[in-house]
Each structure stands twice: as structure tokens, then as C-alpha cells.
């Protein structure tokens, strides 16, 4: 059973993280990582909004893409 980059579980997790940063990590069972990604997205979105006074969520989007890549590249440690 493959559980590294490109596996079905990682693809699903990556899609989840693209929608909501950290959701893919939560699907993978990485609760702390999920919380960190979600908080980073919230902070980045707030900073973007404060700096630009625009509703375009550029900061959220950037963190979302990085979270997606993190979920896609995750390799479960061998026990």
C-alpha cells in the first residue's frame, strides 16, 4: 500500500487543503500541523486585508497553496 507523494490519500488531502488550509493535514491525522496551517491562513488573510483594505484573500490563497503542497508531499513515517 503506497502512502507517499502521489497516493490517493495524499491527493484527497491536497484537495482538502486547497479549499481550507489545514483540512488535508487533519484528514491525514496531523492535528497540530492542521491547526498551524489554519492559523497561518487566518493571520495571512487578516494581514492582507489590513494592508490592502480589499476583500481579495491573497494571503489566505498563498497559505492555501503551500498547505496543499505540504499535504501532497507528506510521507507517513514507517513504524
How much is the pLDDT for 1?
Answer: 37
Give the start-to-end residue ranges of the domains of the chain.
Answer: 8-73
Residues with Cβ within 8 Å of residue 9, at least 6 apart in sequence: 3, 27, 28
Q: What is the pLDDT of residues 4-44, one digit of tens each?
A: 666 788 899 999 999 999 999 999 999 999 999 999 999 99
pTM above 0.75, yes or no: yes
The Cα–Cα gap between 15 and 77 comes to 21
Q: Inform me whether the pLDDT recorded for 67 exceeds 90.
A: yes
DSSP string covering 9-70 = HHHHHHHHHHHSTTHHHHHTT-HHHHHHHHHHHHHHHHHHHHHH--S--HHHHHHHHHHHHH
Amino acid at each position: 500500500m503506497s502512502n507517499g507523494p502521489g497516493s490517493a490519500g495524499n491527493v484527497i488531502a491536497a484537495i482538502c487543503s486547497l479549499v481550507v488550509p489545514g483540512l488535508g493535514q487533519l484528514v491525514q491525522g496531523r492535528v497540530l500541523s492542521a491547526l498551524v496551517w489554519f492559523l497561518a491562513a487566518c493571520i495571512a488573510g487578516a494581514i492582507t486585508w489590513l494592508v490592502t483594505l480589499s476583500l481579495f484573500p491573497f494571503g489566505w490563497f498563498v497559505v492555501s497553496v503551500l498547505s496543499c503542497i505540504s499535504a501532497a508531499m507528506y510521507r507517513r513515517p514507517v513504524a
